[in-house]
Amino acid sequence: MSKKPNPSSYVGFIAALILVLCSAFGLHKFYMGIYQVEYAPAKKRLQIAMRLFIDDCNTALYQNYHQKTKLGDKQETAAEVNLLTTYIQAHFKVVVNGKLYPIQFKRKELDNNVLVCYYTCDELPKLNRVVIENTVFTDVFSEQQNMIQAQLFGKKQSALLTQSANQAVFVND
């Protein structure tokens, strides 16, 4: 007997493919962020990679802080990166076993017109339940979608978050 593929496993792949294709061709008429969340048990840490369109980052910072920024440009400043981190930390929350844990900025890199930001959530207890609340850019773009691709509890899981449904709950069965 052959195992039938799970249709939900394709959602993350399709979302990532759309993001890559649009960034490769300079198109950007939809609002999507891709978030990869992986638990590293030896380090007791969640590792988070965020793929965000640069123009959305600059727009969100202007809308929220009334500062024109040049993220992704050669003229980008450390203060602008810090402002983005402040924004991300206010809009991306991680709750483990009922307790809120802060995320720490590690680094960022450019991939065409996409900013890839790396964060960690450190010193975590054994994971039983992880709740991710993600309102990144939903305060600016009502049609923003945030795809969470998680590797937790030894399995891959996905969730598509929107302005009206902004939390993903992952439980160790």
pLDDT > 70? residue 26: no
Would residue 19 count as lying in a domain? no
Q: Does any domain span residue 153?
A: yes
pLDDT of residue 173: 81
Asked if the structure places residue 159 within a domain, the reply is yes
Total domains present in the chain: 1
Average pLDDT for the chain = 89
pLDDT tens for 60-117 read: 999 999 999 999 999 999 999 999 999 999 999 999 999 999 999 999 999 999 999 9
Separation CA 50–CA 72 (nearest Å) = 15
Residue 15, domain member (yes or no) = no
Structural domain contains residue 3: no
Q: Is the residue at 1 inside a domain?
A: no
Q: Is 142 exposed, middle or buried (0-12, 13-18, 19+ CB in 10 A)?
A: exposed
Instruction: Give residue 2's pLDDT band: very low, low, confident or very high (50, 70, 90).
Output: very low
Kindly tell me if the per-residue pLDDT of 22 is higher than 60. Answer: no
- Helix axes of 78-91 and 54-65: crossing angle, nearest 10 degrees: 80
In a domain, 75, yes or no: yes
Q: Domain for residue 14, yes or no?
A: no
Instruction: Look up the pTM and report it.
Output: 0.83
User: Distance from CA of residue 118 to its chain's centroid?
Assistant: 9
Q: Which domain holds residue 39?
A: 30-171
Residue 31 has a pLDDT of 87
Unique residue bearing structure tokens 């402040």: 86
